[in-house]
Structure 1
Amino acid sequence: EASTTSWKVLREEATCPICLEYFRDAVTIDCGHNFCRSCIAQCWEGSDTAASCPQCRETVQQRNLRPNRKLANVVEIAKRFSLQAAKGAGEERVCGEHQETLKLFCEEDQTSVCVVCHLSRDHRDHRVVPIQEAAQEYKVGSSCVTQHLAHVFSVPFLFFYFKGKVKTRREMIAGEYNKLHTLLREEEQLLLQSLEEEERETLQRLQENVTKLSQQSSSLQQLITEIEEKSPAPGPDSVTLSPVDDRKRVRHGDKRQNLPNNSERFDYCVFVLGAEGFAGRRRYWEVEVGDKTGWNLGVCRESVSRKGKVTLSPEDGYWAVWLRDGGYEALTSPATPLPVSAGEVSFYNVTDRSHLFSFTDTFSGKLCPYFCPCNNAGGKNAAPLIICPVPAQAGGNLGP
């Protein structure tokens, strides 16, 4: 039994861990492990940089291959011991691969083979002799072999050998797990960085969307304000106009009037039109605006809709100017700050005789003078618009 154990240890030390055969031209790499030169070269084939050990995975330099002559001697001893064992067993030994009797000995690979092995690709071109003949050629004194093996595989040697094996195995396992932990930590950091970047990009997009929504809300509010200014909403207690005195004054009243809801009456806007329309002739009016804070003046088509909200623009049949927030605008689309010059329907500042604005358009059908005193704003805008008398030579022709 001790002889069998010694043989197994010897066989293991003389075997390449890649091809699992006896070492051929054994070499040692940086980490201390041994391989056949051809096996390690084939394992590293195609890699130009530092490679790793097939056994412990430690990074090594490919060019640092050192011949191991002492291991070559151990291989020779193992081969001879294998030959002696084969001779002693006679023809009872069979090939583990082909289940044929081991009758031959391959001199190149220094191992027993069967007839099928000899015909295979691995041994086809090798010199193979009968196992008895090889045994005579490599015969050595049994006492010499026994003495050498007893020296190499003494109990202290085996004790330290297996202890070193266990230590190496323990270090290899620890090294593998350390590498695995390092890879896991690196992967964790990469995942955390990716998550942080995704969070930053998401928050940035959300902030951009909030900013856009805020801008859109502001623009919408401004648009609502402009629409409300162009289409003034009636107050809760007064939605109608009261012509008074000489039918040349119009103001926003304080009380709702009970009037019929006919098609000629504005039911939403505080507008009033001239009693008579005109077509194809030049007309001129002067209107006293006084210190009013807001008003509309102009002409409109007689056919404009008087129901619901009204948009003041030439496209909807209104050619007008107004005062809002201390500024004068011609109600084009969009509105035009005053003064500008054009023709056809013109507006002037009678006080200093300056031209304010002129509309140029194609006027069809009958037009009506258009006046709007705007809401009285709780009394702040209660003054009336007053149509002033104009001499006939000046072109005035709007009467009561």
Structure 2
Amino acid sequence: MASANTSWFEVNFSCSICLDVFSSPVTTPCGHNFCRTCITKFWNEQVQYKCPICNKIFDTKPDPQVNTLLSELAAQFRTTVRVKEQPCVEPAEVPCDVCTGTQLKAMKSCLVCFMSFCQTHLEPHQRFAVLKGHRLVEPMDRLEDRMCKKHNRLLELFCPTEQVCVCQFCTETDHKSHPVVPLKEEYEVKTAQLGKIEAELSQMIQERKQKIKVVKDRVQLSNKDADIEIANSGQVFTALIGCVEKCRDEFNQTVQEELKSTEKQAEDLIKELEQEIEDLTNRCSEVKQLSHTEDHLHFLQTFRSLKDPPPTRDWTTVEVRPPSYVGTLRRSLDLLEETLNMEMKKLHNAVLKRVQQYEVDVTLDPDAANPYLILSEDGKQVHDGDVKKVLPDNPKRFRQYVFVLTRQSFSSGRFYFEVQVKDKTAWWLGVVRESIDRKGGSTWTPETGYWNLHYDNDGLVFNDDPAVCLPLRAELQKVGVFVDYDEGVVSFYDVEARDHIYSATGCTFTEPLYPFLNPCPCDYEGSNSAPLIISPVNQTD
């Protein structure tokens, strides 16, 4: 548009379409002058042939004649005409489709003309009534992609049936039986879906960040356990100087290798989690960028590829299982048994004191007790009554075997409890998982959900397949049970002897664990009538 100080020459020697000095000016039948290229392009894009200035409509496309005089005057003026300064287009910007020579930066794109215009060439859309009704949007390239390839019409509708953009003619042919909606309506639907996808991606990112924290915490706990084990073993080996140095080095090396393996596993998991976070973050950025676009076609064409998150791993069952060092030191000291008896006793005493710190207060559950069992009022003792009581049946109660569980269960962390077995000739005790068969069953191994010691005239056994026979212990009076749920360890201790009996390692726990007692029936002579007693921990022993 001409400014207030624009010269008379500039106004009269400028094309009203391109607003630049005439290039090959021609005159229409109504007497108005335009660049030949400008008027030809204008008529090619219109349904009716009319003058852009006076709107006179012509029945057929006119053949405008060259205006020789105007052409000569324009050529003379071209060297002095003042062209309004505008920014040149940058590589990432949309160029003006009208500019000749140096292309200027487009300020708007017209969805009717399918062209982009700089500020100067946008002026007709702001001045002429017929052009003011055109829809202008922020500059965008590849406007030709907005045209239906089959009908050469504007893509302004969306077919949900085939998930494609269509023109009005498509609804009368290929998509005649399909429901269609305006692009804007589908845009709003997909935008809402995009918000949900973004929220899901954000949630996945947070879950993986939390998993990294869990992995790091587990490694930190592994380091602490390793430090404790190394420190305790160091005390033993140092006391034995030369003959124990080799054994100590082997032990330390085993602990360090297991710890290194755990750290390597954690490092690999963290790298994989961080990579997934990076992939999800990139996808989240793409989703956010797409959610802010006003380009309906680009949005819908891109949406399909962003709807599904990138393939990721299911982390719900992935964990870093810290190494268990229970029994490692003892195996190292077997060759030095006679020399190390005193040091081993000191070590086991320290270990027992450490696990006793995880003491829990548990009481027996009368609703789970077999009808032959008699429980004390405080829920701490159980023995066989030799008479079956009439009790309400419920899913928790053991019917076939004289078993009983505690009221309390544990689904994480560490816990410890002690059971007095003094004066008993037969008993079972340990832990079981919640889903065990309480109405029948004939095997009581880790595979069926039982981790327990069994004592009778045949000796002391850890029930497994095959069974693990353990050395007989004189006057075994009290058994301590320690469980590390997360590490998958169940350990048994001779409390009075301050000694380790057995450990089941590498266990996999996926549901709550219950302390489990079986006092075994009394025999005909009345032996084994003593109760099993859940005892308070005495750490001064």
TM-score normalised by length of structure 1: 0.37
Q: Which has the higher contact order (CA 8 A, sep 6+)?
A: 1
TM-score normalised by length of structure 2: 0.27
